[in-house]
Structure 1
Amino acid sequence: MLRFGFWKDRTHNLARMGMADLVKAFATYPAVHAYLGLAAISLYLVQRWFEGWLPLLIATGLTIIVYPLVWYVLHRWVLHSQFLYKSPLTAKAWKRIHFDHHQDPHNLVVLFGALYTTIPTIAIVTLPIGYLVGGLSGAAMAFAAGLLTTCFYEFCHCVQHLNTSPKTRFMKRLKQLHMWHHFHNEQGNFGITNFLWDRLGNTYYPKANMVPKSPTVFNIGYTAEMAQRYPWVAQLSNNTRGDGNPRRFRANADATHNGPAE
C-alpha cells in the first residue's frame, strides 16, 4: 500500500482509538480514496451512457442484495481456505488479505482489503449484473454501487474493532458476533453487517458457548506444523506468531507494519 500523510510511517491500533480517530484515519486512507475516485468516474460514465432510471435502480438494488452473499462465499471458502498459503504464488496475497488480520485484529493497516484483490472482485461481480439489466450505464452504476458498498462495509468493519461500545443495540450485536469470529471460533459468523448467509450456511452461532473455543482462531489453520511444510507466510512474517494471543503490535512484528503505535 502506498502510504503518505496521516498514514506515513505509522501503525494504527484500533484498541487505542476512538471514533474521531477512526473517522480521520478512514477519511485519509488511500484505498478509500481509490474507491471513491473510481465511483465518481463510474457515475460520470452513468450519465454519459444514461438510458433510463429503472435499469439503474435495478442494477443498484441487485448489487446491494448480492454483496452479502459474495462476501460470505469469499470469506468462508477463500480467505479461510487452506490452499492459498500452500503455494509461494499466493502465500503473500493470503498473508496480506486475511492472515495478518487474524494475527492482529486491531491493526487498522491490515484490516482494509488490498486493492489488487478488492477492485477486480467488485468488477467481476458487479459489471455483468449491471450490464445485463442496463447495458453500459447499468454496468457503470453497479460498479459504483459495489465500490460505495465496500466503503460502507469497511467502515462498519473498522467500528467493530474499535475498543468502544457502539451506541445502538443493533451495532452492539454486530460487534459481538464479529468479535466471537476473531476471538472465539473463526469457523462461523463470517458476515459483517448481514448474517443471513451464516444462518443459511449453518455457520451462525448467536452465543459463544454454542461452539467450542477454536485453537486456530488467530492463525486460521496456518499452524506451526503447516508453517514447517509451507514456510512462505512464516518467512514473510519474520517467523513471528500469535497463535495463543493476537500479536497486538509487538516490537518484533512483521517489518512491513512496524512503526510507532497510536
Structure 2
Amino acid sequence: MIGSTLRNTNLRTGRSFDLGKMNLRQLWIAYLTYPTILLYIVLAVCSFAVLGRNFPGIQPTAIAVGAVILVYPVTWYLLHRYILHGRFLYRIKLTAGLWKRIHFDHHQDPHLLDVLFGSPLNTIPTIAIITLPIGYLIGHVGGAAAALGTGLVITCIYEFFHCIQHLNYKPRARWIQKMKQLHVLHHFHDEDGNFGITSYVVDRVFGSYYGDTRARPRSPSVFNLGYDTAEAARYPWVMDRTGAPPRDRPDGAVPRRNVT
C-alpha cells in the first residue's frame, strides 16, 4: 500500500505529489512514473541508439560526454542565477507566464512536484541547445547524440536529487545531507546564493556560496523572488495567472514579528 499521499494522483501533472509529506519510497514511485522523467529516459535511449549507428570512436565519444559533464553545472548556474532569478521576464507580458512556470511557482511552493520539474517544452530545447553543438563539434552526429544523451541523463540525476532536497527525509549520506542543507538555505533563507543542485563549486567560484544562516541575513524576497505586491501592481501578468497576490512566506507560516 503506497499511502494517502499517492492516492488519487494525476500521473500526467503530479499535482497531488507533496514532497513535504512523502517518504523516500513514495518519491521513487512518483519519480519513476512521472511523465517528464519517462520522456527524458526515452529520449536518452534514442540518443544512445543514434550514437550506436553513428559511432565516432571511443575517444570522441568520451570527450563529448566529459565536455557535457563539465559544462552542465556552469550552464545551470548561469541560467538559474541570471535567467530564473532575473526580474526581466515577469516585466514583459509575453514572458511572464514562462517565468511563473519555470521558477516563480517553485519558490512559492517548494514542495510541489509538478512545478519542481520543468516543463519539457522548455527543458528539452534548452538541453539540446547546450549539448548538441558541443557534441557535433567533437564527433559530428554521433558526438551530438552522445552529448544529448548525457545531458538528459544528468538532468534526470539533477531532478532526483532536487526532489531529495525538498523531501520529508533525512539522507543517510553526509554529502547528500550537506547538499540538501545548502539548497534548503536557497529556498528558505536567502535565494541570492547556493544556485547549484548537486555541486556548489561554481557558487564558490562566483562568490554566491554560503554555508549557514549566520553567513548572511534572511532575505525578504526568498519566497517571491522580488515579485512582491508592489511589483505585482506594476506588472500584473504573473498575479493574473496565479489568481492571487504573491506570497512572502509559505502557506501556514506564522508572520515574523519584530523583536524590540
What TM-score does the superposition give when structure 1 sets the normalisation length? 0.90
Q: 2:97 aligns with which of 92, 97, 103?
A: 92
Task: Find the residue that maps to 1:89 and give its secondary structure.
Answer: helix
Shift of 1:51: 2.6
> Taking structure 1 as reference, are residues 147 and 242 closer, same or farther at Cα in structure 2, changes over 3 Å only?
same
Match status 1:50 vs 2:55? yes
For 2:20, the equivalent position in structure 1 comes to 15
For 1:66, the equivalent position in structure 2 comes to 71
On the 8 A contact 1:103/1:247 being kept in 2, the answer is: no
On the 8 A contact 2:187/2:223 being kept in 1, the answer is: yes
Shift of 1:138: 0.2
For 2:157, the equivalent position in structure 1 comes to 152
Which amino acid counterpart does residue 45 of structure 1 have in structure 2?
A: V
Shift of 1:7: 4.6
Shift of 1:8: 6.0
For 2:148, the equivalent position in structure 1 comes to 143
Match status 1:209 vs 2:204? no
Match status 1:168 vs 2:154? no
For 1:246, the equivalent position in structure 2 comes to 250
Matches within 5 A, 1:177-188: 177-188=182-193
On the 8 A contact 2:165/2:184 being kept in 1, the answer is: yes
> Taking structure 1 as reference, are residues 247 and 94 closer, same or farther at Cα in structure 2, changes over 3 Å only?
farther
**Residues 202-256 of structure 1: CA distance to partner in whole angstroms, max 9, x if unpaired?**
100012111110000000010110000000000101114321x2247xxxxxxxx
Structure possessing the higher relative contact order (Cα contacts under 8 Å, 6 or more residues apart): 1
Could you tell me how far apart the structure 2 residues matched to 1:64 and 1:37 are? Answer: 20
Shift of 1:6: 3.6
Shift of 1:45: 0.6
For 1:222, the equivalent position in structure 2 comes to 227
On the 8 A contact 2:108/2:250 being kept in 1, the answer is: yes
> Taking structure 1 as reference, are residues 192 and 9 closer, same or farther at Cα in structure 2, changes over 3 Å only?
closer
Alpha-carbon RMSD: 1.4
On the 8 A contact 1:105/1:161 being kept in 2, the answer is: yes
- Unpaired stretches in structure 2, ≥5 consecutive residues: 1-8, 253-260
> Which segments of structure 1 move beyond 3 Å, counting only runs of 4 or more?
4-10
On the 8 A contact 2:193/2:209 being kept in 1, the answer is: yes
Could you tell me how far apart the structure 2 residues matched to 1:240 and 1:22 are? Answer: 31
Count of residue pairs the alignment pairs up:
244
Which amino acid counterpart does residue 183 of structure 1 have in structure 2?
A: F
Could you tell me how far apart the structure 2 residues matched to 1:225 and 1:79 are? Answer: 20
Could you tell me how far apart the structure 2 residues matched to 1:204 and 1:7 are? Answer: 36
